[in-house]
Amino acid sequence: RFLVKGGLAGAAVYVAYDQGLLGSGTEGAEALKKAQETLPPAIQEWTDYLGWEVRAAQLPPTPKIDFSLSASWNKGVHTVMSALSAAPSRACEYTVEGWKYVKDLMK
């Protein structure tokens, strides 16, 4: 069971890397555009293959994603780095509060 899950996770990471999703922001944006262009014809092909009758009006339109992938990535990196830079002072504050709590319990 563990090997199957590990294999699936590894395959997912490999596919993401192979498609350029783990590269720069521009590579990720290009991969997203490629997926948006490829997905509707692939769905139509599978429904034809399986014999399902799906009219074009029944399929929802492809959602338009209007955001900058690089800006979102940069904001996430900034948030993580600011949290890491504040971690030592927060740890000291929590330690002092913990000692006060223990001292109050000992009284």
- pLDDT at position 77: 83
94: nearest Cα among 86, 82, 107: 86
Residue whose pair of structure tokens reads 């090997």 in the numeric block: 3
Structural domain spans, the chain: 1-58, 65-106
Percent of the chain with pLDDT over 70: 82
* Tens of pLDDT, residues 27-74: 777 777 777 777 777 777 777 777 776 555 556 666 676 666 667 777
Q: How far is CA 65 from CA 17, 32, 69, 73, in A?
A: 21, 9, 10, 15
- pLDDT at position 44: 73
- Taking the C-alpha atoms of residue 61 and residue 99, their distance in angstroms, rounded to an integer, is 58
pLDDT band at 96 (very low <50, low <70, confident <90, very high): very high
pTM of the model: 0.31
Higher pLDDT residue, 52 or 75? Answer: 75
